[in-house]
């Protein structure tokens, strides 16, 4: 049975090789490049501990199904397995996937804030060609004058997008949205 790390690495290598001509990029070089760049935060067939959720509302907020899975809109996965995002991925995200040397300081801080607060991540998606990825975060807005009096402030979804180029994931600014509440 294929291991989680090997599966993710295989997918990553496939994406790198598909970006360049095969004769110019062999598998060892692709593996080396992938290990130096962005490793996307996915786990396969991992489950939440459903006993830790006290209400159905908490499960619904995290988009959990009856089995406790969070499914991602990703096109490159084995039909016999689902790519899921779980709480176990949180330390993996914070320490391995996001490397400050490959990101600007502001983007790194934004991502770090998002992954430290797992409940704020609402969705992760990939484009059909696998060269673009989008992460949507729930962010708190303080643009209402009644904010100090409210126990449940409004939450907005903020989209952070990336594109794969030059053997690495690069931040893609979205001019349609503003950075609020970070």
Question: Global pTM?
Answer: 0.29
Tally Cβ neighbours within 10 Å of residue 181: 16
Residues pairing with 140 in the sheet: 155
- In angstroms and rounded to an integer, the radius of gyration of the C-alpha atoms of the chain is 18
Q: Which residues contact 163 (CB under 8 A, 6 or more apart)?
A: 131, 132, 133, 169, 170, 172
Structure tokens at 153: 């402030």
Domain boundaries of the chain, sorted by first residue: 4-172
Query: What would the pLDDT profile of 62-107 be if each residue is shown by its tens digit?
Result: 554 444 444 333 222 233 333 333 333 332 333 223 333 333 444 4
Nearest to 164 by CA among 5, 29, 31, 19: 19
54 vs 74, more confident = 54
What average pLDDT score do residues 107-115 get? 45
- Residue 55 burial (10 A CB sphere; 0-12, 13-18, 19+): exposed
Look at residue 147 in the predicted model and tell me its pLDDT: 39
Look at residue 118 in the predicted model and tell me its pLDDT: 42
């Amino acid at each position: 049975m294929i291991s989680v790390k090997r599966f993710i690495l295989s997918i990553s290598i496939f994406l790198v090789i598909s970006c360049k001509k095969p004769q110019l990029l062999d598998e060892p070089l692709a593996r080396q490049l992938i290990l130096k760049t962005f490793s996307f935060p996915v786990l396969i067939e991992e489950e939440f501990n459903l006993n830790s959720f006290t209400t159905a509302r908490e499960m619904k907020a995290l988009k959990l199904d009856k089995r406790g899975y969070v499914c991602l809109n990703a096109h490159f996965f084995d039909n016999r397995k689902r790519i899921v995002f779980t709480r176990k991925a949180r330390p993996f995200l914070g320490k391995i996937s996001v490397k400050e040397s490959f990101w600007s300081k502001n983007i790194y801080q934004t991502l770090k804030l998002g992954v430290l607060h797992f409940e704020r991540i609402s969705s992760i998606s990939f484009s059909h060609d696998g060269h673009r990825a989008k992460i949507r975060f729930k962010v708190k807005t303080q643009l209402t004058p009644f904010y100090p009096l409210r126990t449940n402030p409004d939450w907005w979804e903020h989209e952070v997008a990336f594109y794969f180029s030059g053997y690495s994931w690069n931040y893609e600014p979205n001019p349609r949205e503003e950075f609020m509440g970070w």
